Amino acid sequence: MQGGRIMLLREEKLNRIYECEDTLEGILTGIYQAWDASYGHAYIHLTVPAAGESESMLLFSEYHTVVPDAKQAQKVIQTIRKKTSEKVCEKLLGALYSTNPEKADAVYHVLPEAFRMGWRVIGNLADPYMQAVFEMNRAVRNEAHEYLGFLRFEEQKNGVLLARFSPKNDLLELVAPHFADRFPGENFVIYDTGRKKAAFHQQNGPLVIRGLFEEELACFFQISPKEAQFQAMWRLFFETVAIEERTNKELQRNFMPYRYRTYMTEMH
């Protein structure tokens, strides 16, 4: 009975689902278009279907596929920045790098309240969307910060420094600029093994992030002759510098959970 009534209500107005590409640009474009439609926030949902995934179609919903549009995305960022604050904007954008599939929807639904309250929305933890967005942002920023330290580069035969990692959240855009600033004179690649994409940096050149081709992968993993020696010395240092009388693996694990260790030279 109950179900029937809901169906009836829904029949009057269909849910509208915007399927966005899982990139900053894709989601922001989705936000732009959904907002622009003035369809009623309650009936709008944004999703980021994973590539190749055919989402189980919900009944009584109409689907829109969003084609990313740089201009529209840019407009959304500008508006958020203007109507709230730099800090709020940073948090909202941070959440969009999350691995959580609800992120696009959560950010979208935060906006009406954020535009009403301006920068004050930051204190509004009572709003469940806001809470979710802040939580996602926090998780993203934390993980990104950890990888600034835990990422390991290996020198390849051609002198290129290659780092591999497999973060929970989509961190390349957040992590790579730090290393471009740090190593302006190096050629380096940071490869997200899970998402099969990488950040490329050429000596004193710009940073490019894109998918990785199989052929490109094949020419990696040929470490330079010196590489093994420095890896060995790093392991040696790592082991020597710990104080035996204070041994405490649990503390070590708290600070450096196993999931970060996959590509860490000193843990193998």
Partner 1 sequence: MAVIYQQNMSLEEKLRILSDAAKYDVACTSSGVDRAGGAGMAGNSVAVGICHSFGADGRCISLLKILFTNECIYDCKYCINRSSNDIVRTAFTPEEVCTLTMEFYRRNYIEGLFLSSGIMHSPNVTMERIVKTLRMLRETYRFNGYIHCKAIPGADESLVEMAGWYADRMSVNLELPTAEGLRQLAPHKNRKNILQPMRKIQNGIEESRELLGACGGNKGSYWHTRRKLEGKTELQKQEEDAALFARDRGKIRGLNPHILTGVSPEGAGRSMSGVQQKDAVPKADFWGTGLPDEDLLMPSAQGGLAEADGYGDTSCRIWKESASAAEGRYGIHAGHETLSCRTARGFVPAGQSTQMIIGATPETDFEVMSVAEALYQKFDLKRVFYSAFVRVNDDASLPVLPGGPPLLREHRMYQADWLLRYYGFAAGEILTRERPNFNVLLDPKCNWAIGHLEMFPVEVNQADYFKLLRVPGLGPKSARRIVEARKSAVLDFRDLKKLGVVLKRALYFITCSGRMLYSTKLEEDYIVQHLLDASEKLPAHLSEDHFTYRQMSLFDVGGMLENG
Site residues (vs partner 1, CB under 8 A): 120, 123, 125-126, 145, 148-155, 161, 163, 178-179, 181-186, 204, 226, 230, 232-234, 236-252, 254-256, 264-266
CB of 41 to partner 1, least distance (A): 25
CB of 205 to partner 1, least distance (A): 11
In the complex with partner 1, the residue whose CB is nearer, 40 or 185, is: 185
CB of 219 to partner 1, least distance (A): 20
In the complex with partner 1, the residue whose CB is nearer, 38 or 240, is: 240
CB of 231 to partner 1, least distance (A): 8
In the complex with partner 1, the residue whose CB is nearer, 128 or 211, is: 128
SS (H, E, C) the chain: CHHHHHHHHHHHCCEEEEECCCCHHHHHHHHHHHHHCCCCHHHEEEECCCCCCCCCCCCCEEEEECCCCHHHHHHHHHHHHHHCCHHHHHHHHHHCCCCCCCHHHHHHHHHHHHHHHHHHHHHCCCCHHHHHHHHHHHHHHHHHHHHHHHCCEEEECCCCEEEEECCCCCCHHHHHHHHHHHCCCCCEEEEECCCCEEEEECCCCCEEEEECCHHHHHCCCCECCCHHHHHHHHHHHHHHHCCHHHCCHHHHHHHCCHHHCCCCHHHC
In the complex with partner 1, the residue whose CB is nearer, 32 or 134, is: 134
What residues contact residue 224 under an 8 Å CB cut-off, 6+ apart? 155, 156, 157, 159
CB of 251 to partner 1, least distance (A): 3
Rg (CA), the chain: 22
CB of 266 to partner 1, least distance (A): 6
In the complex with partner 1, the residue whose CB is nearer, 22 or 155, is: 155
In the complex with partner 1, the residue whose CB is nearer, 213 or 230, is: 230
In the complex with partner 1, the residue whose CB is nearer, 78 or 204, is: 204
What does residue 202 show for φ and ψ, rounded to 5 degrees? -105, 145
CB of 133 to partner 1, least distance (A): 15
